[in-house]
Amino acid sequence: MLLFVKYVKCVLKNVIIGWASCIFFSINLLFICPVLIAHPTMTSHSNLKTIIIDDFHPVLLETLNANNIPFHYLPDISEQEAIKALALYDIAIVRSKVNFTSSVLENLPQLKCIARGGAGMDNIDEQAAKLRNIVLLNAPEGNRNAVAEHTIGLMLSLSNQIVKSNSEVKAMQWHREANRGYEIGSKTIGILGFGNTGQALAKKLKSFGSKLIAFDKFAPSADKDVEAVSLSELQSRSDIISLHLPLTSETKYLVNLDFLDQCKPGFTLINTSRGKVVNQLDVLAALQNGKLKAFAADVLENEKFGTYTQNEIDVFNTLATLSQVVLTPHVAGWTHESYYKIAEVIALKLLEFTTNLKKY
C-alpha cells in the first residue's frame, strides 16, 4: 500500500512540473513572437531592389550581401535588355553601358539611385535625374591615384621622348642628342580642375619640385603648395597644362583654337579627363604651327574607331604620325588597384544611402 501511495505522488509531481513548464513556454512564446516580428533579421532597406549591369570587383557583391541588400548581378546583360530591366529596380549600379538620358529616366519611375563606378557622370543626365529625385553616387576617390600616376607617366614620356626613342632604338637607330629631354621639376605645371584627381596629381608632383598652379571654378586650391590662379593666368604661365575636368556643357570643347591661342607658346597639353573637352582638329593645328609642343591623351573625342567619319580618320591618322603625340586607350583610371577601390567606395556609399534613405 505504501509503495502504491509513493507511486501516485511521483506521477502527480511529474504532471504538475510538466503543466508548469508548458505554461511557462506558452507565456514566453507570447512575448517572444511579437519581438521577432518587430525585429526581422533583414534591415528595413532590404526591400530596395538593386541591379548591377556592369562588371565590378567581388568586394561590391560581398559588401551588399553582408548588409542584407538584395541584388541581381548581370554584368553581361545587353544595353537594351538593361534598359528594360531597370524599370523594375530601385537602385542601379553601373559603369558606362547605359546612357541615362532624360527619355530613358522617364521610363524608370521606380528608380531612386544610380551609383556609377567611376569619377565622371557624363552618361547620366544629372538635371533630369535631379528633377526625378534620383540620388547620384560616383567614386572619384577610387581611381584618383591611378589617374594621377598615369598623368605623370604621360608627362615623363613626352619630356624624355620615351615613346619616340624606344621605337628608334628598336629599329637600331641611336640618336642621343635628338632625344635629349627636359626635367618636369624645372617647369610650371598648370592643373585645370582641382577636384579629387587634380589634388592627387598635385600631391605627387610636389616631390618633383615643379611650380604648381591650379584653376577650378568650383573648388579653388586650398593647398599651400599650389597657387590658385585665374584661367587666363594658368594659360599664360604654364609650361604643361593637365586637364582634370568633368564633361559638361560648359567644358565641352573648352580646349579649342581660342583657348590654345591664349596659352604660353610651346606648352605641353595632357588630357586624362574626357575626350570631348578637347577639339582634336584644333590641337592638331596647334601642333603643326608650333603653338603646342606636345600632346598626350588617355581619352579621345570619339573612342569608337568603327564609327569614325572620313574627317575623323584623317585627323586621327595625322595625330598618330607625330612623334610628339602619345595616346593611350582610356586606361588611366583602370588599374588592378582602382578596380577594387571603385567597387569598395560604391559599396560604402550605397550602404550609407540605404541606411539613411530618409535624409535623401
Q: At 115, phi and psi to the nearest 5?
A: -110, 115
Q: How far is CA 321 from CA 120, 150, 288, 314, in A?
A: 30, 22, 12, 11
Query: For residue 193, what are the contacts with CB-CB under 8 A and spacing of at least 6?
Result: 215, 216, 243, 244, 245, 246, 273
Q: ∠ at Cα 52 (46, 57), nearest 5°?
A: 105
Cα distance between residue 350 and residue 348, in whole Å:
5
Contact call for residues 203 and 190 (beta carbons, < 8 A): no
Q: How many residues does the chain have?
A: 360
Q: How far is CA 277 from CA 14, 31, 139, 299, 323, in A?
A: 87, 65, 20, 10, 23
Q: Which residues are catalytic?
A: 274, 303, 330
Contact call for residues 234 and 241 (beta carbons, < 8 A): yes
